[in-house]
Copies of this chain bind each other. A is one copy, B any other.
Amino acid sequence: MRVGLIGYGYWGPNLFRNFQVSPHFEVVAVAEARQARRDELRRQYPDLKLCETGEEIVAASDIDAVVIATPVATHFPLASRAMKAGKHVLVEKPMCASVAEGEELVAIAKSHKVTLMVDHTFLFTGAVSAMHKLCQSGEMGKISYYDSTRINLGLFQPDVNVMWDLAPHDFSIMDYLLGEEPVSVEASGYCHINPGLPDIAYLTMHFPSDMIAHFNLSWMSPVKMRRTAIGGSKKMLVWDDLNPEEKIKIYNSGIELRPEAQRNILIPGSRIGDVFSPRLDRREALAGVVDHFAATISGKVTPIMGGDAGLRVVRMLEMAQQSLDRNLGVAKGRSA
């Protein structure tokens, strides 16, 4: 399949490299606005077609699939035109800027019988694969909470707030692991650098199954943390993505109902049972995304990160943004 890549910025080169080595695809064209980046590509790949705008890729008759790695505001126009031209689309996360856009993209993909996939790369990491198995097999028991901390000293982007930058990772992972959509979202944030663009955000979600989810997102932390805890009635797990050796640790839930008389006795340590850290697949996740895109196009698999999944993530972002706006409004003069 002949692929055109739109956007050769931060993530674009990784997509390029992984599509290039795939036996299923051939990258034939790249669109990138900056002259210097195009020159760089030309030196290394003299045969590659280089374009200034994504329009040229979307319109090209000899391209079968389009990969979109541009700012989120451009996802909808590029993806919709590409699909209407009969091209398969892999688009960076988040899929688009609103639920309305997302619903239209899903409809276009369906009516034009093309594949629409969102690059939620994390779903193809060894860690998320292992957690998916744990959650779906019933080994965790009934899930009661999902608690994520995703903080670092950030890149202050002028057009995106911290939630739109970081939460798509969490939302897509949670959606994949637990398969449930929230009934309500409370969000609160604080703008230190750019007025109106929170750089710290706290989100709490409630789910039909009684599960609670919480997200601590920040560009203002001196220390980077990537930590997710998931609590089930049988097992609990902690995923520390920065631990190179033991990313996932699994614990017995340790919750036991004691007779009332003993409830004032402190549990003498901070954990109850054995700890198990499973071996994880170390394959590059993006290679898995590219394979999955090929398998989906060929009809062999149902995508785990198709348009429907991308839309669910955008719906959570929109719900959270509405709550954030309300709370920033309430707190105006203070944090907005």
Contacts and interface: CB of A to CB of B under 8 A. Distances in A.
Interface of A: 9-10, 44, 144-145, 147, 149, 152-158, 183-184, 186, 188-190, 192-193, 200, 202, 204, 206-208, 210, 212, 214, 216, 218, 220-224, 229, 231, 236, 238, 242, 244-246, 249, 251-255, 257-258, 260, 263-279, 282, 327, 330-331, 334-335
Given A251-B222, A257-B193, A278-B274, A153 B202 contact: no
A257 B193 CA distance: 8
A188 to B, nearest CB: 5
A260 B189 CA distance: 22
Given A212-B188, A222-B253, A246-B275, A270 B152 contact: yes
Contact of A155 (B238, B245, B264): B264
A229 B269 CA distance: 24
Contacts of A155: 263-267
A275 B274 CA distance: 11
Contacts of A221: 229, 231, 236
B220 A145 contact: yes
Contact of A271 (B44, B192, B223): B223
Contacts of A246: 275
Nearest to A10: B266
B275 A245 contact: yes
Contact of A245 (B212, B255, B264, B271): B271
A255 B330 contact: no
A276 B279 contact: no
B204 A188 contact: yes
A220 B231 contact: yes
- The number of times this chain is found in the oligomer is 4
Given A147-B216, A236-B221, A236-B222, A272 B335 contact: no
Given A155-B267, A216-B147, A279-B273, A255 B193 contact: yes
A158 B303 CA distance: 45
Nearest to A9: B264
Contacts of A236: 220-222
For A222, A229, A244, A246, the residue with the greatest tally of chain B CB atoms inside 10 Å of its CB is A222
Which residue, A183, A238, A270, has most C-beta atoms of chain B within 10 A?
A270
A188 B215 CA distance: 13
A123 to B, nearest CB: 21
Contact of A275 (B188, B206, B258, B277): B277
A153 B254 CA distance: 7
29 contacts: A9-B264, A144-B220, A145-B190, A145-B218, A147-B216, A153-B254, A153-B271, A153-B272, A155-B263, A155-B266, A157-B264, A186-B186, A188-B206, A200-B212, A206-B335, A208-B334, A221-B231, A221-B236, A222-B231, A222-B236, A222-B253, A222-B272, A223-B238, A223-B270, A274-B277, A274-B279, A275-B276, A275-B277, A277-B277
